[in-house]
Amino acid sequence: MRLFILFSFLALILFSACGYPQKAIEKTYSAQTESPVPNYSQIQYWAAHPYKTDPADSVPATLKHNYQPDSTVDIFFIHPTTYIDEAKTYGWNAPINQIDINYKTDNSTILYQASIFNEAGRVFAPRYRQAVFSAYFPKNLADSTAAMNAFNLAYSDIKTAFEYYLSNYNNGKPIVIAAHSQGSTHGKRLLKDFFDTTNLRNQLIVAYLVGMPIEYNYFTQLKACIKPEQTGCICSWRTYKTGYTPNHIIQEKETAIVTNPITWEADKPVATRQLNKGGILMNFNKVIPSVTNAVVQGNILWSNKPKFFGNILYTTKNYHIGDMNLYYLNIRENMALRKKAFLQKQEPY
């Protein structure tokens, strides 16, 4: 736990909000009003939305000259936990309009993760009453019950947001589900409820459910992606330093989906750092090529210590917070490849 808190603190330093206009941030937050329940017909309850300017629209400076956004597909992005508070200042779930938490969300995960997909299509990322980080580590039966209730409440917001999105914005467009950490906890439930055994599965380009174990046998119809251009499937990985496997993962009984985010091929589980097109760490506008490698190892992904200026301070063995950032360009290019393959099929959806 102490390690994670230290890691999170370091991440706040590393993943600064450069590249997004400060005035736009202030304008967004000043427009918010207090409400305990999100109303997704109101734009303020979306961290990212095509009808407003937000950090998901940001493009690293070195990529802007080739940037060609498209609106033929939609990305529904579910952000990870940004309510990390041992004291549970706001209870088991974050208030939907808590300014500090929302600011942190927008200028960390929305900027550094959701922006990966902004060239592929329209990005929708709902705010939701996320469960506090410690809900993943209940200390007793009472805490376990409270934690389950917290996750259920959080998912109820995600489900409501997705239903509103389907009814009001989708209009039959192909869909990408992308999520990280707590977002993936909710994302796999969303896939189960809306895609797995329904016709909506025909609209699914791909699901990137990163940072949480996604069991192979969790779904009835949906399967793991095994090729880089495959569609209607799931990609997932959890990143740790080469040679390190946490005890709780060693004890896992289910086989998890583990995708190599450089090769994207099940029969190519090893990729050198030279094949890493580029990650984004401290400076959003600086893409760092060959930042690290990727090796599928059991239920997780192993990566060597990332190469960047100041990495001497990067001592953690848990690379969870960099699951997507370390492979920023590879994910961005893979998204474009799967989108192209999906549209070329010209299947009805």
330 phi and psi angles, rounded to 5 deg: -65, -40
* Cβ-Cβ contacts under 8 Å for 215 (sequence gap 6 or more): 254, 255, 256, 257
Residue 327 has pLDDT above 90, yes or no: yes
Residue 29 has pLDDT above 80, yes or no: no
Q: Are 263 and 284 in contact (CB under 8 A)?
A: no
Of 299, 301, 297, 298, the closest CA to residue 330 belongs to 301
Distance of alpha carbon 82 from alpha carbon 105, whole angstroms: 6
What interhelical angle do 141-165 and 182-194 show, nearest 10? Answer: 60
Give the pLDDT confidence score for residue 25 in this predicted structure: 33
Find the mean pLDDT for residues 214-242. 97
Q: What are the tokens at 18? A: 């450069």
Give the pLDDT confidence score for residue 347 in this predicted structure: 52
Tell me the residue range of the domain where 256 lies: 2-345
Query: Residue 125 pairs with which residues in a beta bridge?
Result: 48
Task: Quickly state the pLDDT bin for 7 (edges 50, 70, 90).
Answer: very low
Sign of dihedral through CA atoms 304, 310, 313, 319? negative
Mean pLDDT of the chain: 89
Residue 30 has pLDDT above 60, yes or no: no
Distance of alpha carbon 308 from alpha carbon 289, whole angstroms: 10
Of 41, 71, 324, 46, the closest CA to residue 209 belongs to 324
- pLDDT digits 0-9 by tens, 157-193: 999 999 999 999 999 999 999 999 999 999 999 999 9
Which regions of 211-341 does DSSP assign to beta strands (E)? 223-224, 233-235, 239-241, 270-271, 294-297, 300-303
Question: Strand 122-126 to strand 74-78: parallel, antiparallel, or no bridges (unpaired)?
Answer: parallel
What domain count does the chain have?
A: 1
Distance of alpha carbon 300 from alpha carbon 24, whole angstroms: 38
